[in-house]
Amino acid sequence: MDGLTRYAASDLHAFVVRALTTAGATPDDARLVADGLVAADLRGVHSHGVVRTAIYVRRLQHGSINPSAVLSVVRDAGPVVVVDAQGGFGIAMATRAMDLAIARAREHGVAFVGVRNSNHCGMLAHLAMRASAQGLIGLALSNADAQVAPWGARAKYLGTNPMAIAVPAGAEPPIVLDMATSIVPHQRIKTAAARGEPIPQGWGIDREGRPATDPRQVLNGGAILPFGGPKGSGLSLMIDILAGLLPGAASGPEIIPLYEHLDRVQGVGHLLAAISPASFGPQEDFVRRVARLAQEVRALPPMEGAERVYLPGEIEHRRALEYAERGIPLPAETEVALSSLAADLGIPAPAGMRG
């Protein structure tokens, strides 16, 4: 036993649903948001897990999340659909958009659904994996508020602009790439600042464009750096174009930061896509070849210092299986945030269990 306080996924899910509905969310929206947040914690992506419940509640209370929002079709061209999220919960609206993409991909072979007028939509792997769970390839892109300096700039302009791709692999776990285009998520910088800890050189710059190891300098006038220099910067820019400009959403500095101006819809944009392998050839042949690729990559001899070769998303998949069985060990900051939120709303905090 590791001695950690762990939480059953079902208990965390029930807490998020109760917190959101107490604050005015519909039960269906609350369930979809809880699905996404708990899925992140199960995979160990705690920056996008139940810790976000409090800011969603605050935005709901201040009016920037619309509890009556529905996914409204703006343009329907068959395999390409543009929808308006009407300022609703980003996770709920993006989930519905992915489900629409899945349905259209079954009809047309491929489908793209662009979302405008949305809010923060959580861990993108959760969205992409909705497609892979049904035998389709899922793609999820989202832009975000400006926190990242484009390559060569000292001012922030781009968001962390994540992307996720999930590919079904039959009996093998799906191959899931889920990544921000910043060198680290914004939440990692905020957590370091809250703890009074330095950050590694190369994560961010101060307002003068100099390397910064004090996270407060990055957050106050500085900027996070893109991963991979010009490559990550270029990919981030393209995601902003595809997820923001293409569906008519806000872009870059136009997007309202998640923790600021709580009375204003963020204006985030998403692009959800689904691809049917059966449109390219026999489905079983594709899945079999993906599974064989996974097995061959995993069997490659590891480099010095590496335990073995892991595929994208494999570590998170193994962690999710363990956490589903043994409970989720939440970071201390998350436990404090949930207890504080429970007190504010007058509801019980989720009960933990010793590891």
Q: Tokens 């049904």 belong to which residue?
A: 134
Q: What is the mean pLDDT of residues 35-41?
A: 98
- Confidence at residue 1, expressed as pLDDT on a 0 to 100 scale: 40
Q: Tell me: pLDDT of 323 over 70.
A: yes
254-33-52 Cα angle (round to 5): 65
- The predicted pLDDT at position 332 comes to 92
Residue 288 has pLDDT above 50, yes or no: yes
Please tell me the distance from the alpha carbon of residue 221 to that of residue 8, in angstroms, as a whole number. Answer: 40
Residue indicated by tokens 């959403």:
249
169, β-bridge pairs: 172
Contacts of 304 (CB under 8 A, 6+ apart): none
Q: Whole-model pTM?
A: 0.95
pLDDT at residue 2 in the model: 60
The 10s digit of each residue's pLDDT in 173-227 is 999 999 999 999 888 898 899 899 999 999 999 999 999 999 999 999 999 999 9
pLDDT tens sequence across 110-127: 999 999 999 999 999 999
Q: What is the pLDDT of residue 269?
A: 98
Structure tokens at 6: 């762990």
Amino acid making up residue 42: L
> Percentage of the chain with pLDDT > 70?
99
Model confidence at 255: pLDDT above 90: yes
pLDDT at 243 over 50: yes
Cα 72 from Cα 169, distance rounded (Å): 33
Q: What is the pLDDT of residue 355?
A: 55
Here the tokens at position 265 are 């819809």
Q: Span 287-310, mean pLDDT?
A: 97
The answer on pLDDT for 238 being more than 80 is yes
The average pLDDT across 240-264 equals: 97
Q: What is the mean pLDDT of the chain?
A: 96
Band of residue 3 on the pLDDT scale cut at 50, 70, 90: low
pLDDT-derived band at 240 (thresholds 50, 70, 90) equals very high
Residue 239 CA: distances (Å) to CA of 157, 159, 217, 234: 13, 9, 26, 9
Question: Which residues have CB under 8 Å from 217's CB, separation 6+?
Answer: 204, 206, 207
